Amino acid sequence: MKHATASATLNNSYFTPRQDPPAGTALDPQPDGKPIPKLFQPLAIRGLELHNRIVMSPMSQCSANNGAVTPWHTALLGGALIYGPGITFLEDTAVLPEARLRPDDNGLWDHAQIGPLRALVDFAHSQGQKMGVQLGHAGRKGSVVNIWLGPHVVTKEAGGWADELVAPSAIPYNSAPGWPVPRELDAAGIAHAVKGFANAARRAVKAGIDVIQIHGAHGYLLHQFLSPVTNKRTDRYGGSFENRARFTLEVVDAVRAVIPEGMPLFFRLSGSDWLEETFPNESLGVEDAAKLALLLAEHGVDLVDVTSGGLHPAQKLGVNMGAPAYQAELAVAVKKAVGDRIPVGTIGTITTAQIAQHVLEDLQLDVVFLARQFLKDHQTVWTFAEQLDVKIKLPVQFEWVFAGGRPKK
């Protein structure tokens, strides 16, 4: 027992062996003497070091208990993080009750939601792994049924909040009958939303989170302000690009001000609305994304994650939708604009290590975000290492099994 105690993780309520270095770390040097591919090279971001460039992206699960993390999240995220992604992200987490997209979304609008999240984060830390949370506000897209039930509005009688939806302008997400018209945010409403982001960030810090990402894409509230398609305001939050970006920058500033100096702040932005045909000369495009990324870097954002779409049902995602790394081209344009100021990541159909390595090495992006791939294969970090013939650290509970059936001395 003396040996077991000495190798245990400190400050933990249960025994778990120390993972040092953490699983997912490439052995350095490699046994065959070959260089370590960029996918498995570490990356320092502000006060944090990722031991590889593979990020488990936020994924909506609609499985929270009044906004709080449940055993479902522990099983899903814990089953992946023990193999060592650079960061494991909890799904989009609402900053206010009315900021939810769906009834059973995660939230950090209440102190009661800190404890369950803290338990999950403590488990990640006990394994030497890093946890992130994505903070968001659904705006006009909210009060819809859980994702597997289809695109239908949840009425007030059924526990919905359709009459509390807000947006930059009073334009519904869908023009079909039954879709609610959101309330146009006034100055007080904007301040309330900004405060909601800041308070949620404070709770994330109390839960021990290592990284915060702000959701500014997929048609969520910040994206709604950024795009001329959904923002028809004539005040200081509408019109010019600078005005449309004002709310986003206020949120970023508010979050940056309440999190530790060494904590990285990420931002998920949209590279395209994919609405050029339906809304010519209004649709948000990659040049706007590049301009926004530069502003975000000036305001303390440490990494941008480039995605696209989700603003309007009329979007045309193009012929490349679903092709390998189909959004990487958008991220490359953003990377060219920001240069070495901040890292840039991409997401979308990155299903093999070869695709991921191409994105990083040939396209010169910095990290890859994987979502569905982790649902299909929770051991993706290990799988990608094998595909590139890279030897990585495994959980110590597994190592002896793959060392001839005997524990290593």
3-class SS letters over the chain: CHHHHHCECCCCCCCCECCCCCCCCECCCCCCCCCCCHHHCCEEECCEEECCCEEECCCCCCCCECCECCHHHHHHHHHHHCCCCCEEEEEEEECCHHHCCCCCCEECCCHHHHHHHHHHHHHHHHCCCCEEEEEECCHHHCCECCHHHCCCECCHHHCCCHHHCEECCCCCCCCCCCCCCCEECCHHHHHHHHHHHHHHHHHHHHCCCCEEEEEECCCCHHHHHHCCCCCCCCCCCCCCHHHHCHHHHHHHHHHHHHCCCCCCEEEEEECCCCCCCCCCCCCCCHHHHHHHHHHHHHCCCCEEEEECCCCCCCCCCCCCCCCCCCCHHHHHHHHHHHCCCCCEEEECCCCCHHHHHHHHHHCCCCEEEECHHHHHCCCHHHHHHHHCCCCECCCHHHHHHHCCCCCCC
pLDDT reported for residue 321? 74
**Is it the case that residue 157 has pLDDT exceeding 70?**
yes
Residue 138 has pLDDT above 50, yes or no: yes
Please give the average per-residue pLDDT across 343-355, as a whole number: 97
> What local confidence, expressed as pLDDT, does residue 6 receive?
41
Tens digit of each residue's pLDDT (9 = 90 or more) over 185-225: 999 999 999 999 999 999 999 999 999 999 999 999 999 99
Q: How do residues 276-318 score in pLDDT, each as one tens digit? A: 999 998 999 999 999 999 999 999 999 999 999 999 999 987 6
Q: Between these two residues, 381 and 400, which has the higher pLDDT value?
A: 381
- Nearest in space to 325 (alpha carbons), one of 301, 303, 346: 346
Q: What pLDDT is stored for residue 128 in this prediction?
A: 97
Query: Cα separation of 153 and 151, whole Å?
Result: 7
Short-list 120, 19, 118, 21, CA closest to 78 = 120
Q: Taking residues 16-43, what's their average pLDDT? A: 97
Which pLDDT tens digit goes with each residue over 89-118? 999 999 999 999 999 999 999 999 999 999
Banded pLDDT at 164 (limits 50, 70, 90): very high
Instruction: Give the pLDDT of residue 7.
Output: 56
- Confidence grade of residue 147 (pLDDT, cut at 50, 70, 90): confident
pLDDT score of 5: 41
Full-model pTM: 0.95
The two structure tokens encoding residue 84: 């060592």
Confidence of residue 232 (pLDDT cuts 50, 70, 90): very high
2 pLDDT band, cuts 50/70/90, is very low
Output the CA–CA distances (angstroms, integers) from residue 69 to 18, 23, 53, 266, in the order listed: 25, 24, 26, 21
- Using one digit for the tens of pLDDT, what is the confidence trace for 254-283? 999 999 999 999 999 999 999 999 999 899
Nearest Cα to 209, choosing from 267, 269, 125? 125
**What are the domain boundaries of the chain?**
20-392
Structure-block tokens of residue 357:
């390595």
pLDDT at 409: 44
241, pLDDT greater than 70:
yes
At residue 408, does pLDDT exceed 80?
no
Burial of 300 (0-12, 13-18, 19+ CB in 10 A): middle
- Quick check: 173 pLDDT over 50? yes
- Tell me, what's the pLDDT at 1? 32
Q: Please state the separation of Cα 218 from the chain's center in Å.
A: 12
Is the pLDDT at 407 greater than 80, yes or no? no
Are 238 and 294 in contact, with CB atoms under 8 Å apart? no
| pLDDT value of position 156 | 84
How high is the pLDDT of residue 197?
Answer: 99
**Mean of pLDDT over the chain:** 94
Is residue 331 pLDDT above 60, yes or no? yes
Q: What is the mean pLDDT of residues 376-397?
A: 97
pLDDT tens-digit readout, 360-372? 999 999 999 999 9
The fold of 20-392 is TIM Barrel (3.20.20)
Size of the chain, expressed as the number of residues it contains? 409
Model pLDDT, residue 10: 64
pLDDT, tens only, 44-93: 999 999 999 999 999 999 999 999 999 999 999 999 999 999 999 999 99
